[in-house]
Amino acid sequence: MDNPEKLLNLLSEDARLTTAQLAAMTGATEDEVVSAVRAFEKNNTILGYKTIVDWDKTAREFVTALIEVKITPQKGMGFDEIARQIYSHHQVESVYLMSGGFDLTVIINGRSMREVARFVSEQLAPMENVLSTGTHFILKRYKDHGVEFDPSDKDKREVMMSW
């Protein structure tokens, strides 16, 4: 395959594209696309496929929090081991090493603010290398993973502007 990055870009934008569509868009054959995708999955370049859901349009109730974590890096392991310990909790959606005033950003989902607070106070804060935490709750999503939420709002704005 001549341009594997193009294939990865297309899949990252819409993982539902068919092999035939991907072949047409990359100029490769369907067999080359299948082979490239399998190779990317095998070598962990492609780590998974995700559907982005607007949970506000369902009956599911939950909150998302972004937690700033200041830690003491472990000798010989830096931040990696403590990050692994944190992301091993099922509530944890993402963990990022950051520059700036804190070390890690942890994004978690919980059924309520109380559940998130319990996770922070009982699981995260007591960890040996955790120095401090700061929790921020997401109040409304406007765009996530490149996807705009509630596109009807955009349609309403365009109608109002045309008056």
pLDDT of residue 160: 44
Cβ proximity of 93 and 48 under 8 Å: no
Q: Is a pLDDT exceeding 80 seen at residue 158?
A: no
Q: Is a pLDDT exceeding 80 seen at residue 151?
A: no
Per-residue pLDDT tens for 56-86? 788 888 899 999 999 998 888 889 999 999 9
State the average pLDDT over residues 124-133.
95
How far is the C-alpha of 79 from the C-alpha of 13, rounded, in Å? 30
Specify burial of residue 104 (Cβ count, 10 A radius: 0-12, 13-18, 19+): buried
Q: Is a pLDDT exceeding 50 seen at residue 131?
A: yes
Per-residue pLDDT tens for 18-67? 999 999 999 999 999 999 999 999 999 999 988 888 887 888 888 999 99
Element (H, E) at 42: helix 30-42
Domain map (residue ranges) of the chain: 4-42, 55-141
State the average pLDDT over residues 87-105.
96
Q: What is the CATH number of domain 55-141?
A: 3.30.70.920
Token pair listed for 104 = 């890690």
Closest to 120 (Cα-Cα) out of 70, 44, 58, 67:
67
pLDDT of residue 154: 54
